[in-house]
């Protein structure tokens, strides 16, 4: 098998990859799903190891990456930074430069997951991934960090291609803030805004006043829509955005005021979010749309972000998308880590 032209490429945000490169991942993922255990795939990473740095725990992320490495003939090694002697602001230890250079001599790629409570300010996780990318000689893959979640975004698009067709232009996404006793990072919703707009979808982002996303992400999403002659709007009405929606993505996220004094003010965020009880995705709101699909990166806060009737209903594709994490991650690993 010839070396992929994506060999060695980092994946920190899909916005940094060309549309053609993203389609290549999706097409390979779709092939791998159809012919999952074919011999043409099962030795692509034979005898190779993928390091997984989990600053934060996960459900699907660890499972799907370990399965992906195994099905490609390799091995995914689980690492917890707290159990390693890494330099931090408060402790002595190995620098990112030294760690990245050494790990590059052991593994074929490095995945990093760093969310909410493991950072002291928004953007710190993104900076860490890019510092590793600066020094590492192997691909750095975001397994979700404070700004972006590229693997989740690609799994979403793979699901939409299956249910709505490969041409998503003109389809409307409603990306709506949701009620809940949570303080979730922006990574999944920002990745969705960026990636869905790359594929030509109209994008409406709905949220209560005070829950704005990263201005740079909004600016890039607007530009993506302009380039695709798609519509972009921000709404603060809980129902308006549902009108004409083909896809509804209902997710809680934190406010821009979440970090103060070098820490996440989680309890304050939860107290604030619980006031907006009307911001739950339910069947009545879904009826305003164009028989929309319901999509969510999971875990779902049922009864708050969305009702069971919608989350487990016939138009929900949450389990398809969760499965797709395995297939898109296999494709990413094959294209970026295999010679």
Q: Kindly report each contact of residues 234-240 with a partner whose C-beta sits within 8 Å and lies 24 or more positions away, as own/partner.
A: 234/204, 234/205, 234/206, 234/207, 235/204, 235/205, 235/206, 236/206, 236/207, 236/208, 236/209, 237/206, 238/206, 238/278, 238/279, 238/285, 239/285, 239/288, 240/206
pTM score? 0.96
What does the pLDDT read at residue 91?
59
d(CA 194, CA 208): 20
Half-sphere exposure of 162 (CA within 13 A, CB side): 22
Would you put residue 92 in left (φ > 0), alpha (ψ -120 to 50) or beta? beta
CA Rg, the chain, in Å? 20
**Predicted pLDDT of residue 83:** 77
β-strands 263-264, 259-260 pairing: antiparallel
pLDDT for the residue 71: 98
Separation of alpha carbons 192 and 210, rounded Å: 20
Distance between CA 28 and CA 36 in Å, rounded?
11
Low-confidence ranges of the chain (pLDDT < 70): 1-4, 87-92
Q: Encoding tokens for residue 37?
A: 């255990």
Structure-token pair, residue 252 = 């809680």
Q: Six-digit token pair at 207?
A: 């949220």
Give phi and psi for 117, each to the nearest 5.
-80, 0
**Residue 311 neighbours by CB under 8 Å, 6+ apart:** 294, 296, 300, 302, 318
Domain 153-321: which CATH number of 2.160.10.10, 3.40.50.1370, 3.40.50.880, 3.60.21.10:
3.40.50.1370
Domain 14-148+325-337 indexed as CATH 2.170.120.30: no
Q: How far apart are CA 302 and CA 106, in angstroms?
A: 42
Q: For position 1, what pLDDT does the model report?
A: 44
Q: Which sequence spans correspond to the domains of the chain?
A: 14-148+325-337, 153-321
CB 58 within 8 A of CB 143: yes
For 115-124, write each residue's pLDDT tens digit: 999 999 999 9
Are 265 and 120 spatial neighbours (Cβ–Cβ below 8 Å)?
Answer: no
Q: For residue range 208-245, what is the model confidence (pLDDT) as tens digits?
A: 999 999 999 999 999 999 999 999 999 999 999 999 99
């Amino acid at each position: 098998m010839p070396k992929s032209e994506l060999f060695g490429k980092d994946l920190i945000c899909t916005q940094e990859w060309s549309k053609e490169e993203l389609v290549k991942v999706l097409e390979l993922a779709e092939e791998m799903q159809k012919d999952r255990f074919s011999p043409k795939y099962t030795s692509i990473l034979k005898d190779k190891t993928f390091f997984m740095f989990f600053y934060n725990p996960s459900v699907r992320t660890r499972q799907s990456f370990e399965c992906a490495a195994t099905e490609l003939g390799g091995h995914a090694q689980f690492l917890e930074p707290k159990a390693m002697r890494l330099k931090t602001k408060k402790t002595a230890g190995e620098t990112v430069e030294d760690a990245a250079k050494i790990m590059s001599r052991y593994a074929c790629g490095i995945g990093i997951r760093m969310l909410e409570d493991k950072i002291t300010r928004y953007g710190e996780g993104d900076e860490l991934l890019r510092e590793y990318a600066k020094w590492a000689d192997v691909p750095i893959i975001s397994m979700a960090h404070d700004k972006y979640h590229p693997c989740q975004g690609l799994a979403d698009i793979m699901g939409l291609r299956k249910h709505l067709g490969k041409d998503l232009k003109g389809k409307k996404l409603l990306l709506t803030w949701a009620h809940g006793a949570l303080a979730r990072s922006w990574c999944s919703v920002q990745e969705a805004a960026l990636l869905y707009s790359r594929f030509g979808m109209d994008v409406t982002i709905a949220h209560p006043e005070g829950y704005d996303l990263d201005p740079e992400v909004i600016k890039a999403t607007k530009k993506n829509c302009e380039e695709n002659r798609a519509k972009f709007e921000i709404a603060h009405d809980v129902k308006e955005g549902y009108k004409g929606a083909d896809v509804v993505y209902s997710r809680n996220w934190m406010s821009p005021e979440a970090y103060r004094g070098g820490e996440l003010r989680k309890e304050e965020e939860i107290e604030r979010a619980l006031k907006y009880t009307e911001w739950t995705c339910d069947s009545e709101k879904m009826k305003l749309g164009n028989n929309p699909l319901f999509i969510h990166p999971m875990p779902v806060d049922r009864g708050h972000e969305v009702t069971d009737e919608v989350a487990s209903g016939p138009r929900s594709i949450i389990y398809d998308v969760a499965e797709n994490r395995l297939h898109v991650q296999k494709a990413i690993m094959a294209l970026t880590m295999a010679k």
